[in-house]
Chain A
Amino acid sequence: MTHQTLHPHLTPDEVELWAQGLLGVARTMHLADCAECLATAERERKLLRDLAQLPRFAPEYGFVDRVMAHVRVPTPSGDFSA
Chain B
Amino acid sequence: MVEWAKDGNEPAFRELVRRYERPVFSLLYRMVRDRSLAEDLAQETFIKVLNGIRSYRPEFKFSSWIFKIANNAAIDHLRRRELDTLSLDGSPHAQTPEEMQATALQLGARQESALDAVVSRELGSQIELAIARLRPEYRACILLRHVEGHSYEEIAQMLDLPLGTVKTYIHRARNELRGYLEATRE
Q: Is B68 an interface residue (CB 8 A)?
A: no
Partner of B6 from A47, A66, A74 at Cβ < 8 Å:
A74
Chain B interface secondary structure, helix, strand, loop or mixed? helix
Partner of B8 from A43, A67, A75 at Cβ < 8 Å:
A75
Q: Is A33 an interface residue (CB 8 A)?
A: no
Q: Is B129 an interface residue (CB 8 A)?
A: no
Q: Which residues of A contact B182 (CB under 8 A)?
A: 43
**A40 nearest CB neighbor, chain B only:** B178
| A68 to B181 Cα, complex, angstroms | 41
Determine whether the beta carbon of B178 is less than 8 Å from that of A43. Answer: yes
Q: Is A36 an interface residue (CB 8 A)?
A: no
| A57 to B17 Cα, complex, angstroms | 14
Q: Is B122 an interface residue (CB 8 A)?
A: yes
Q: Is B128 an interface residue (CB 8 A)?
A: yes
Q: Is B70 an interface residue (CB 8 A)?
A: no
**A63 nearest CB neighbor, chain B only:** B21
Number of interface residues of B (CB under 8 A): 38
Q: Which residues of B contact A64 (CB under 8 A)?
A: 14, 17-18, 21
Q: Is B88 an interface residue (CB 8 A)?
A: no
Q: Which residues of B contact A70 (CB under 8 A)?
A: 43, 47, 51
Q: Which of A51, A71, A76 has the most CB of B within 10 A?
A: A71
Q: Is A3 an interface residue (CB 8 A)?
A: no
B34-66 Cβ-contact flags toward A at 8 Å (1 or 0):
000011001100110011011000000000000
A36-70 Cβ-contact flags toward B at 8 Å (1 or 0):
00000001100110111011111110011011101
Chain B interfacial positions (CB closer than 8 Å to A) = 6-8, 10, 13-14, 17-18, 21-23, 25-26, 29, 38-39, 42-43, 46-47, 50-51, 53-54, 122, 127-128, 142, 146-147, 149, 167, 171, 174, 177-178, 181-182
Chain A interfacial positions (CB closer than 8 Å to B) = 12-13, 43-44, 47-48, 50-52, 54-60, 63-64, 66-68, 70-76, 78, 81
